[in-house]
Structure 1
Amino acid sequence: MALLLLNAALILAVLATAHWYVFRRLVKDASRDGGPWRRVGTVLVWLLVAATALVLTAGPAELPYEALRFSSWTAATWLPLLMFLTLALLLGELARPLLRRTLAHRAARSSGGPGDAHGVAQSADASRRLFVARVVAIGATVLAAGTAALSRAGGSPSQRPGEQGVEVAFPFTGLWRARNSPARRVPSHGTNLLGGRYAIDFIAVDDEHRTARSRSWRTFFATEPPQLFRAFGLPILAPIDGTVVAVHDEESDHDARRSQLALVPYTLGQGARLRQGVNAIAGNHVIISLSEKGPYVALAHFKAGSVRVSVGQKVTEGEHIGDCGNSGNSTQPHVHIQAMDSADISVARGVPMLFRRFREWPSGPDKARIRERTVPQEEAVVEPLPVARP
């Protein structure tokens, strides 16, 4: 816990320093005291500080949908720009003294005589400082904005409505939030490894679309026990009729992380978990085959000791096969489902899925719609609906 709090304090210090540095170089150094540039720039930087604070708190606090959407946009736009801007300004530190020296030499050569007064020299130096600061500021801003725009250009494709795929039922009942949906991007989890190209995660929510019963200081700065979350221990159901071809139930459930500050060190350890193999990523999991040659459907992150099926067992759609947990590469209790072309997750390629009839709330608990044979939108809440089977 102490290490987590130290990490959180370090990240906050880095963010505070970056915002201060941007204010110093883009606003204070590049403007005159009391001028319009200084006033507007100061207000703008404080608004950006508030936006960063919103990014750090909106998700863990589970704010209303509109606030979460703005927070998501801010996280995808402002934070990358802040990083590129800070790097560009640091590069500008190399050019700053060279540019000032060049301007000073040019002024000396063009000077008409030795009659410069001390005050005039100081005024000329202040003007050169202001000119250099503005050149560096504008250059760094253009460079950072261009880099950020290039990094977002040519956005990832997504799974479109009407696209063919393996038809599956939802592996649960009640209300669950869709995350890492292929309707947003493909590959949905940012990689084609481990058959996850079209994978999707679901997190149980209550009637107000909240994932946990309460919040505390740990929500924003550290980890939380998985039992706090609504999804933990809920039944997970077979999404298809088929045969169980793989089972793993030897991983423990670990603490959950809603805190953006606690997620940073966890994300940095992703490579180490991947090197440990499939079980460290999928945790406790079950793989079901539709036929002898597939395709295959995998469900991951079961609660330790909860898996109810064994290899070779026939299962029917809707059968209770285990309970939702927080094992493997999981930041909070949820169920991960993916279709693939091989029973070996380490070499499998992802296959699109189509979920049967469901009610979807794409933008908060007040606006619902009925959808069929498609994938839920990112961050939408879904509820499975009965459908007549042939």
Structure 2
Amino acid sequence: MVIVFVVIVLAVLAVLVTANWYVWRRLFRDTTGGPGWVRRAGAALVAGGWLMAIGALVAERTGAPFWLQRVLAWPGFLWLALSIYLLLGLLLGEAVRPLLRRLLERREPAEERTREPRPETVPAGTTPGTPGTPEAPGTPEAPEAPGSEDPRPPVSAPSRRLFVSRIVGGAAAAAAVGTVGVGTYGVLNGPSVKRVTVPLARLPRAAHGYRIAVVSDVHLGPVLGRGFAQRVVDTINSTQPDLVAVVGDLVDGSVRDLRTAAAPLSGIKAPAYFVTGNHEYFSGAEQWVEEVRRLGLLPLENARTELPWFDLAGVNDIAGEDEGQGPDFARALGDRDPTRACVLLAHQPVQIHDAVEYGVDLQLSGHTHGGQLWPGNLIASAANPTLAGLERYGDTQLYVSRGAGAWGPPTRVGAPSDITVIQLASRQA
């Protein structure tokens, strides 16, 4: 087992080193005429960016001083996102390179053909345009007039390669910076509101139109702080929900470091319920359960509450199993009245199979971030039954939110953040 782990680690390191060498080569070595400060600066940028990124990840996981986490998080996590799109842009550029080179090669002969011919050199003692005029012996030819030489010599192959490299490298860098910039602005600006209507067979007519605001993956931490939490709360309150469901990954850090950041949650106006996500177990889940309770949220730790028109249940995240606090569906759902509709809060979509077994009508989840950074959606889709949105599994429906915040890079590409308002519909209405 140890050998397998070592082999995997070495393989990952080899891929990272190769990818970063490729990025440096295409962006800095191939775009400069020779060794110099630009190449050295590029090597320092690439290596330093990854050192900051790894440092940010290690600092977060080891509970390093919060000031250090904040110093490392912004540049480190943003470089992580930027490096992904630099690599993708440069790889895409490989298809463009030969096309640009061919275009330049074809253009040069065409330009040569369209240039005016050079004027003939008329020997001394000869009248221009008069044929047969003898040339005096020993008379030197008249020199060419200044400026008569071709001002546009053919471009050499090395010059073409340098030109193409600069075009492709510059375009890839601009696209990567633009992509990350727009994606970061989207996160920092706060989540949008998404509205979804979900019919439940056992929901009574009196509950038709009941609104649940689903809030997932806020990830308060060294990057997203109190200001972001306030934007989330303001967005929740603007939807005027009947109930708020916070379905895990609220924080990335200890209560001591993030108490101030989480304080705006006390401003949620509707009744709010909370279940743990995997990141709570990296941050001290028991302390956070107590803290959210102090802020006015009601934790559902493998528990159920009977609301007037349906049951609302919640289970702990799977990550809690290592601490003896994993999900317990029997405790949360085992003795409920099966004639009543049931809504379950569970952080990870993979918990849907247990929800089906216990006859849940609707499970509300997060965790996937919708992939967060394209093409991360391909990996997230392979690891989860539903990436985002509403799907049915037997008689149970699963809704997965893309989440309100972001983990790692405060950036989203192809997976915009959201707070979803689920409007329950009764089939009797």
TM-score, normalised to structure 2's length?
0.42
TM-score, normalised to structure 1's length?
0.46
Larger Rg: 2
